[in-house]
Amino acid sequence: MKKSILLLMLIAHVVVFSQKKSKTLVTINDSKITVADFKKVYEKNLDAIDNEESKNVPYNLDLYINYTLKVKEAYQLKLDTLPSYIREIETYRNQLSAPYLQDKSFTEKLIKEAYFRTKNEIKAKHILIRTKKNATSADTLAAYNKILKIRNRILAGDDFEKVAVATSDDDSARDNPQRNFKGNKGNLGYFSAFKMVYPFEEAAYKTPVGEVSMPFKTRFGYHILKVDEIRVSKGEVEVAHILVTDLAPTGKTKIDEVYAKLIEGKSFDSLAKTYSNDNSSKNKGGKLTKFGTGRMVPSFEKVAFSLRDIGDFSKPFKTRFGWHILRLLKKHPLKSFEAMKATITASLKRSGRMKLSDDAVLNKLKKNYRIIEHESAKLLLNRKDIRTISKDSLQNILLSINERTFTQADFVSAIANKKQQPIGILFENYKNQQIVKYFKENLVNTVPEYATILKEYEDGLLLFELMQQKIWNKSSKDTLGLKQFFTDNKKNYDAQELTEIKGEVINDYQNFLEQNWIADLRKKNKIKINKKQLKKLIKFYEKKE
């Protein structure tokens, strides 16, 4: 049985947190189970119970006690210290805490922002001064100053496109005769949300039309951009095309012949299969995947969006790939916000933009927590031999988050194998990680719903491990015990040989082992049921029927 399915079954009778002022229903040794505890579990599972006998309150209380005894046994056997258990719980804790590490209002703002930028596309040109991944602060400053001077030239009257050709580190700005490539002079055409890296998109949409932005940084380096236009998105289109890759005069002659056949009424699909050089689409009648602005070369895009009616086809036109004729298959207007919300949210996650929401939560935590960086201990960060210093010399407190403290040794241990980034950045990352970790670990004290679900899973996983050890492994490996059980209970089976009904016998043997095990657990634990409260519970549910 799959562990995930089994855990859902096991936690069906889980112990949940007690409510204050609730009467004690059961005492197991020194632990108390309240009426409220039992009612939560019982009522939670009523909808899943399909017969009256199984709704019996004493019957369910027995199951509840058995579950509690098993979980106690698992903790006594220290199954919660198993490496496999610790790893799985940590994975689940990370999954469960993920929603609490998102700022919902900030995320909603990002979604609405992305929809606006999907609905309104922007036309811009840019100039790039590249920086290396491992650039020093001096290199970064030099790049910034260089692009700032370029911006000043444009503000003083120099033509943006000419300056882009002369100075930009984006090679697409310049012609490349060897590749038959005509440079774009920095022009990027129209684009919308998710078409550029976020810092670039952000700068473009925040720069007024006709103005030149201040320098801004992306992972590629420093940019400036000029916004030429903003317009309502045209949505997406589906087209089919016929491509003749021959750019010589013979290619023009061939595409004109194809166009003449279209005018005569010949099938676009059959002509695409016969004449198109696009092997990926010709056998589909030239059909391409739907696209919006910014996906195709500008001349191709312009023609595609200029076609008005379904079935219309264009005159031959040329791109750097060859000669094309397009036929309009379908138009896809932009959908409403509600219709696109799920798609945009998925795009946010794929783009990594949700990290902005993570950062918003982190900044809130920094304001709410008492965080102290101990300056004298931080002098350690200036030492070049930081990774080789004896741990005995690194016992000073480096960082405090509320009551939690972290020593110099904790930090050095965490960065032992991280040698690609400066120590200052590693310390900031370490601090942020510990803040988030503190928040996640403290969720059990601040969010009751999270604490309940986590406790259910922890106990359910422990019980899974315990059942494997006590019942399932034993029933499959103890062949002598299984044979003896079959012999002792042969009268209950319509078979003479164990091999004929082995699966059924194993199931019965497991039940037999579990019943004996539970009986042993009940003997070694002191169980006391408050009969008065049990009678009240029975009457309470009888009246509700």
Task: Look up the CATH number of the domain holding residue 482.
Answer: 1.10.4030
Question: Is 98 domain-assigned?
Answer: no
The range of the structural domain enclosing residue 217 comes to 120-232
Pair (143, 203) in one structural domain? yes
Q: Classify residue 379: in a domain, yes or no.
A: no
Query: Residue 98's pLDDT is what?
Result: 87
Q: Which residue, of 317, 332, 347, is where some domain finishes?
A: 332
Q: What is the mean pLDDT of residues 534-540?
A: 91
Q: How far is CA 185 from CA 175, 217, 303, 462, in A?
A: 9, 20, 21, 64
Domain boundary among 283, 317, 332: 332
The DSSP bridge partners found for residue 216 are: 223
Is the same domain home to 208 and 271?
A: no
Cα distances from 311 to residues 7, 92, 240, 307, 319, in angstroms, run 56, 53, 10, 9, 22
DSSP 424: H
- Summarised one tens digit per residue, pLDDT across range 465-515 is 999 988 988 888 888 999 999 999 988 998 888 888 998 999 999 999 999
CA distance 8 to 522: 24
Q: What is the pLDDT of residues 66-86, one digit of tens each?
A: 999 999 999 999 999 999 999
Total domain count, the chain: 3
Give the ranges where 208-292 is alpha helix by DSSP (H).
Answer: 249-263, 268-275
Same domain for 298 and 244? yes
Q: What pLDDT score does 102 carry?
A: 85
Please say if the pLDDT value at position 216 is more than 60: yes
The pLDDT of residue 14 is above 80: no
Q: Are residues 130 and 224 in the same domain?
A: yes
Neighbours of 437 (CB within 10 A): 12
Which residue, 308, 332, 356, sits at the end of a domain? Answer: 332
Instruction: Name the residue type at position 418.
Output: K
- Confirm whether 96 is domain-assigned: no
Residues 6 or more apart from 137 whose CB is under 8 A from it? Answer: none
Q: What CATH number does residue 200 fall under?
A: 3.10.50.40
pLDDT in tens, 347-364: 998 888 888 888 899 999
Task: Indicate whether 211 and 249 sit together in one domain.
Answer: no
In a domain, residue 133? The reply is: yes
Residues 166 and 216 in one domain: yes
pLDDT of residue 397: 97
Residues 227, 137 within the same domain: yes
Segment 386-420, tens digit of pLDDT: 999 999 999 999 999 999 999 999 999 999 988 87
Query: Could you tell me if 165 and 224 lie in one domain?
Result: yes
CA–CA gap between residue 258 and residue 317 (Å, rounded): 12
Q: How confident is the model at residue 20, as a pLDDT?
A: 47
- Range from 24-28, 87-91, 246-250, 417-421 carrying the lowest mean pLDDT: 417-421
Q: Which residues contact 375 (CB under 8 A, 6 or more apart)?
A: none
Residues 263 and 222 in one domain: no
Q: Are residues 59 and 10 in the same domain?
A: yes
What are the contacts of 256-265 at 24+ separation with CB within 8 A? 256/316, 258/316, 258/325, 259/315, 259/316, 259/325, 262/313, 262/325
Amino acid at 108: E
pLDDT of residue 16: 38
Judgement on whether residues 70 and 173 belong to the same structural domain of the protein: no
**What does the pLDDT read at residue 46?**
75
pLDDT in tens, 230-264: 999 989 999 999 999 999 999 999 999 999 999 99
Look at residue 19 in the predicted model and tell me its pLDDT: 41
Residue with tokens 């050089």: 277
Q: pLDDT value at position 328?
A: 98
Q: Residue 48 belongs to what H/E stretch?
A: none
- Residue 108 belongs to some domain of the structure: no
Tell me whether strands 236-244 and 317-319 are parallel, antiparallel or unpaired: unpaired
pLDDT at 78: 94
* Residue 219 falls inside a structural domain: yes
- Whether 356 is covered by a domain: the verdict is no
Instruction: Burial-class residue 147 by CB neighbours within 10 Å (0-12, 13-18, 19+).
Output: buried
pLDDT band at 5 (very low <50, low <70, confident <90, very high): very low
Do 136 and 192 share a structural domain? yes
* pLDDT at residue 88, rounded to an integer: 93
Residue 276 lies in a domain: yes
Q: Can you give the pLDDT at residue 12?
A: 43
Which region, left, alpha or beta, applies to residue 74 given φ > 0 means left and ψ of -120 to 50 means alpha? alpha
Residue 1 pLDDT more than 60?
no
